[in-house]
Amino acid sequence: MNTYNAVKNRLLALCEEKNITINKLATSSGVAPSTVKNILYGKSQNPGIVTLKLLCDGLEISLATFFSTEEFANLEQEMK
């Protein structure tokens, strides 16, 4: 598991949990739908922290909540 997949999985899980579509997430966060789709479909494998913060705002959660999962806690160091 890498960081990109962890971010993608977390966004998809949160959308499902909150019963919102990708387009609704984009609208509520002020992030372009194409940006959200690029993150989810692999065109953007390194979303910026500001973009993630906006998405969290749209999901009505904090960045800390976004990253507080076992998947993030168990990520291996990317650079060795």
Pair of tokens at residue 43? 């065109």
The confidence score (pLDDT) of residue 17 equals 96
CATH of the domain at 47: 1.10.260.40
Report how many domains make up the chain.
1
Number of H helices, E strands in the chain: 6, 0
pLDDT in tens, 29-65: 999 999 999 999 988 888 999 999 999 999 999 999 9
Q: Is residue 21 part of a domain?
A: yes
Task: Please name the residues in contact with 17: beta carbons below 8 A apart, sequence gap of 6 or more.
Answer: none
Q: From residue 28, how far is each of 11, 54, 55, 66, 80 by CA, in Å?
A: 14, 9, 8, 16, 38
Contact 75, 3 (CB under 8 A): yes
pTM of the predicted model as reported, rounded to 2 decimal places: 0.89
Q: Which domain holds residue 57?
A: 3-71
